[in-house]
């Protein structure tokens, strides 16, 4: 056991496998949510599966458990690889793995029985908050010491993004989760909405976004076999993300009596986020130009490129819906739910999966068990998520338009029924994609060909 824990890249592999497993768990709870919205009484006699308890499990497991865990596993591989050194401490990586996954496991264990702080994206109980912060601090220390011992002088932009994501999370998570109030994890009164959405938006923006962007900057140049288009542009995108993202969470509560200056700053910087997003997307697309056959032909890179497309769509839609006039129609309805899905599963999830499939052979020394299954996973997720986006956007516009014209909430519900049925059906495709991915990963670890043998076979065939 000790020998395995000290094995190079073992912590990275653990995070990658755990991320694939949490994807299945999160998708299962997502299906339960979808069933609730079609048949609310289906689980009426099972208290730990009522909507108010299992929905936070779905959300947090997909955010932290699937996307976050898998992207951390990718970073634990590519940061030492880019620095041409070993991870400073594999055992410390395993300590991070333990604390991080204890936090995620606390979701199903605590939320199911009503133990929650009851704040969206901040539901984990205080002890789980402490566990997550410890995991992030351990990861950060490991990365800093790895950088200090590097043999490569240049810090490639993926290293910047990965380390910054850990640093920002270590600073922002305790503030947004009000960890100095262990009993409630909240501030009294309206002020709590500002603290809540400080982390609620920094979670996707300063944890998932830099993790996913760093992974994309690692995978695309490797697959395209060409240098990054512009290192300067990559750093410009990095610093603009820092400058603009930290205080845009206020656009979630524009209808509340928070200070007007905060509303204005939130809206202006939300719109301005189009700039760093465009820089990142253009830089990656310019890197892959004239290499379409390689990037779109490679199943792993195809997922990453798909994630970049979803990133662009998300960051066109997000700034627009931050405008107060448009929020009259788009806020508090299924439009927002559709937006959240394309952001986390589309942008973060696609890049996490693509980077994982690209990195797994490098970590294990084994080829992917089935590239066709990777392509099948891409197809299943794309079909399900595109349908989600269209169905939930349409349902949200129906809700918002009716409410804006004075209709009551309950009278709109019958109009949404067919959309909720479609959502549940599309969820089957996403759940199947998660199961296909986990099966393919397990079979890769068990039966994937050793890369040395594959290389020898290719040489013999060429001869």
The answer to the question of residue 390 being in a domain is: yes
Instruction: Find out whether 150 and 227 touch, Cβ atoms under 8 Å.
Output: no
The 3-state secondary structure of 228-289 reads CCCHHHHHHHHHHHHHHHCCCHHHHHCCCCCCHHHHHHHHHHHHHCHHHHHHHHHHHHHHHC
Residue 1 above 70 pLDDT?
Answer: no
Is the residue at 456 inside a domain? no
Residue-level length of the chain = 463
Q: Are 71 and 54 in contact (CB under 8 A)?
A: no
Taking only the tens place, the pLDDT of each residue in 74-133 is: 999 999 999 999 999 999 999 999 999 999 999 999 999 999 999 999 999 999 999 999
Residue 392 inside a domain? The answer is yes
CB atoms within 10 A of CB 358: 25
Say whether pLDDT at 367 is over 50. yes
The pLDDT-based confidence of 462 (bands split at 50, 70, 90) is very low
**Any domain includes 237:** yes
Tracing tokens 């401490």 back to the chain, one arrives at 89
HSE toward the beta carbon, residue 456, CA cutoff 13 A: 5
For residue 450, the SS3 value is strand
Rounded Cα gap, residues 291 and 192, in angstroms: 49
State yes or no: pLDDT of 307 exceeds 50.
Answer: yes
Residue 203 has pLDDT above 60, yes or no: yes
Q: Measured in whole angstroms, how far is the alpha carbon of residue 176 from the centre of its chain?
A: 18
Higher-confidence position of 3 and 226: 226
Q: How many CB atoms neighbour CB 144 within 10 A?
A: 14
- CA 165 from chain centre, in angstroms, equals 12
Q: What angle do CA 18, 199, 271 make, to 5 degrees?
A: 110
d(CA 48, CA 32): 11
Q: What is the mean pLDDT of the chain?
A: 93
Beta strands in 249-395 (DSSP E): none
| CA dist 303 → 86, 264, 345, 350 (Å) | 28, 36, 11, 5
CB 360 within 8 A of CB 215: no
Which structural domain range is residue 442 located in? Answer: 2-450
Q: Which helix (H) or strand (E) holds 6?
A: none
Placement of tokens 């309206």 in the chain: 190
pLDDT of residue 285: 93
Among residues 293, 160, 286, the alpha carbon closest in space to that of 214 is found at 160
pLDDT at 459 over 60: no
Find the range with the poorest average confidence among 109-113, 214-218, 323-327.
323-327
Q: Rounded to 5 degrees, what angle do the CA atoms 23, 25, 30 make?
A: 90
- The larger pLDDT score, comparing residue 104 to residue 317, is at 104
Domain count along the chain = 1
pLDDT attached to residue 205: 93
pLDDT for 461 equals 45
Q: What confidence score (pLDDT) does residue 457 get? A: 53
Cα–Cα distance, 136 to 96 (Å, whole number): 7
CATH number at residue 37: 1.20.210.10
**pTM, 2 dp:** 0.95
Does the pLDDT at position 142 exceed 90? Answer: yes
Q: Which pair of structure tokens corresponds to residue 155?
A: 């810090």
Q: Could you give the CA distance from residue 124 to residue 116 in angstroms, rounded to a whole number?
A: 6
**Is residue 461 one of the residues assigned to a domain?**
no
Q: Is residue 291 part of a domain?
A: yes
Q: Phi and psi dihedrals of 348, rounded to 5?
A: -65, -45
What is the average pLDDT across 162-171? 97
Tokens of residue 266, six digits: 């939130």
Q: Give yes or no for residue 195 having a pLDDT over 60.
A: yes
Q: What is the pLDDT of residues 411-452, one digit of tens each?
A: 999 999 999 999 999 999 999 999 999 999 999 999 988 876
- Reported for 335-338, long-range contacts at CB under 8 A and 24+ positions apart, including other chains, are 335/392, 335/393, 335/395, 335/396, 335/397, 335/399, 335/400, 336/396, 337/392, 337/396, 338/388, 338/389, 338/391, 338/392, 338/393, 338/396
Residue 195 Cα distances to 40, 178, 254, 350, 382, angstroms: 32, 7, 14, 29, 34
């Amino acid at each position: 056991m000790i020998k395995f824990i000290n094995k190079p890249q073992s912590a990275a592999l653990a995070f990658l496998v755990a991320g694939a497993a949490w994807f299945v768990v999160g998708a299962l709870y997502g299906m339960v949510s979808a069933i609730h919205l079609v048949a609310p009484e289906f689980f009426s006699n099972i208290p730990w599966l009522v909507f108010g308890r299992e929905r936070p499990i779905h959300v947090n497991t997909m955010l932290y458990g699937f996307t976050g865990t898998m992207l951390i596993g990718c970073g634990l591989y590519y940061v030492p690889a880019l620095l041409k050194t070993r991870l400073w401490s594999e055992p410390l990586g395993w300590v991070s793995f333990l604390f991080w996954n204890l936090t995620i496991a606390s979701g199903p264990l605590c939320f199911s029985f009503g133990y929650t702080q009851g704040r969206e994206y901040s539901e984990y109980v205080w002890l789980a908050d402490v566990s997550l912060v410890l995991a992030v601090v351990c990861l950060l220390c490991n990365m800093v010491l790895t950088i200090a011992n590097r043999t490569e002088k240049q810090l490639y932009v993926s290293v910047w993004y990965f380390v910054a994501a850990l640093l920002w999370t270590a600073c922002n998570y305790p503030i947004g989760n009000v960890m100095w109030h262990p009993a409630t994890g909240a501030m009294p009164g309206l002020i709590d909405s500002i603290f809540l959405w400080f982390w609620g938006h920094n979670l996707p923006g300063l944890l998932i976004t830099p993790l996913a962007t760093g992974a994309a900057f690692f995978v695309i140049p490797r697959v395209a076999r060409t240098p990054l288009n512009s290192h300067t542009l990559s750093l410009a995108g990095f610093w603009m993300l820092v400058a603009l993202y930290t205080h845009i969470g206020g656009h979630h509560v524009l209808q509340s009596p928070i200070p007007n200056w905060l509303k204005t700053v939130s809206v202006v910087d939300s719109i301005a986020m189009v700039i760093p997003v465009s820089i990142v997307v253009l830089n990656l697309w310019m890197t892959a130009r004239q290499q379409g056959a390689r990037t779109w032909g490679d199943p792993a890179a195809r997922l990453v490129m798909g994630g970049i497309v979803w990133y662009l769509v998300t960051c066109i839609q997000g700034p627009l819906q931050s405008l107060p006039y448009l929020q009259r129609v788009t806020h508090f309805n299924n439009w927002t739910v559709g937006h959240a899905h394309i952001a986390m599963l589309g942008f973060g999830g696609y890049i996490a999966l693509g980077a994982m499939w690209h990195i797994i052979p490098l970590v294990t020394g084994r080829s992917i068990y089935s590239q066709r299954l990777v392509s099948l996973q891409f197809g299943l997720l794309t079909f399900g998520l595109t349908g989600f986006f269209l169905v939930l956007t349409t349902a949200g516009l129906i809700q918002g338009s009716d409410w804006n014209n004075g209709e009551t909430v309950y009278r709109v519900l019958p109009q949404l029924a067919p959309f909720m049925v479609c959502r549940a059906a599309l969820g089957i495709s996403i759940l199947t994609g998660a199961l296909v991915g986990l099966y393919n990963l397990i079979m890769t670890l068990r039966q994937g060909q050793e890369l040395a043998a594959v290389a020898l076979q290719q040489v013999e065939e060429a001869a």
